Amino acid sequence: MYQSKLDLIQTEIGIKLVKDNFERNLAQALNLVRVSAPLFVTEDSGLNDNLNGYERPVKFDVLETGRMAEVVQSLAKWKRMALAQYKFTAGTGLYTDMNAIRRDEVCDATHSLYVDQWDWEKIIDNTERNLNFLEVTIQSIYTSILETAKQIEEYFPELKSDLPKDIICISSQELEDMYPESTSAEREYIIAQKYGAVFITGIGGALKSGKKHDNRAPDYDDWDLNGDLIVYYKSLDKAIELSSMGIRVDRESLLTQLEVQNAMERMRLPYHQALLNGQLPLTIGGGIGQSRLCMILLQKVHIGEVQNSIWPDQLIKECNDRNIFLL
């Protein structure tokens, strides 16, 4: 029978400690300033993240304007416009608390209808649009995670982290070459279990097999310069994605990816026009799951132990049977 190492009050204290310490560590590592962010954007702005392309955003009509608004699915595009509007300079950036509703999510131990993550974005120059800069950045993020784990252990000595000291970087094509008979999810599990923490690069475009490692929207990450941070979590025997990030599209990669995705109609949208006209800076950015990080660092076995959400009746019953308390 499962027994949490923290009681309910300790859990709530732990959640606050993880969030406060990690965002401070992240801001220092990447030179970021916290800003406020929208919960929703207008449907016709082109600012909402399309994620994998099939998720349906939550929509509602705005009484005073008659326009449709959408609850954000992530802030990948909004952040880039905010950097320009706030007049950030190269080498500096922003982070924010992003809250979203993923209505099409299938709920399980690591997936919820409610999403909370740290969204961050930083201005770079053209010489930094390369794989080496991407990998240096993920190293900084992973170091911030390890520092947070150490800080949590100092407060709760019973929570000894088993995250490895180092993270390895590997391309999705290298993974396919190594395990050609496996699915993308199976490859992620194999490599994460082997190394403990991995950053898989090159997600969105077709591999040599003609298949994609995973889907990505064509208008925020450059598919050649992005990646997912995945850790192996022994308590669930799962590979868990903590972050999706990347160097963002420039004019050339935007046009190429829109054409590949048969989404050229998006060029008419305000965000895309601003990018095509050189009104947006070159950036790198991503999202880091708050509840997933809390779950791992507080050694929980269900994301519902560190966040409030709505769960299917069967899942609630299974958790009750296993002594898992959902907030």
Whether 102 is catalytic is yes
DSSP 212: B
Q: Which amino acid, one-letter code, is at 193?
A: Q
Annotated active-site residue in 244, 253, 261, 309: 244
Name the catalytic one among 23, 49, 128, 222. 49
Residues 6+ apart with CB under 8 A from 103: 55, 56, 57, 58, 113
307: annotated active-site residue: no
Cβ atoms of 307 and 272 closer than 8 Å: no
Catalytic entry in 74, 112, 117, 172: 117
Catalytic residue among 116, 188, 221, 228: 228
The 8 Å CB, 24+ separation contacts for 222-226 are 222/129, 222/246, 222/247, 222/248, 222/249, 222/250, 222/253, 222/257, 223/253, 223/257, 224/131, 224/253, 225/129, 225/130, 225/131, 225/134, 225/201, 226/134, 226/201, 226/202
Residue 220 CB burial class (10 angstroms; 0-12, 13-18, ≥19): buried
- Tell me the C-alpha distance between 241 and 292, whole Å: 8
Is the sign of the CA dihedral 246, 247, 253, 255 positive or negative? positive
- For this structure, is 44 an active site residue? no
Q: Catalytic: which of 147, 174, 241, 250?
A: 241
For this structure, is 49 an active site residue?
A: yes
Please report the beta strands in 191-327, taking only residues with DSSP state E, as ranges in sequence order: 197-201, 221-233, 238-248, 283-289
* Selection from 125, 120, 111, 124 nearest residue 141 by Cα: 120
Among 80, 102, 216, 292, which one carries the catalytic annotation? 102
DSSP letter for each residue of 80-104: HHHHHHTT--TT-EEEEEEEEE-TT
User: Which 8-state DSSP code applies to residue 73?
Assistant: S
Q: 113, 310 in Cβ contact below 8 A?
A: yes
Active-site residue list: 49, 102, 117, 228, 241, 244
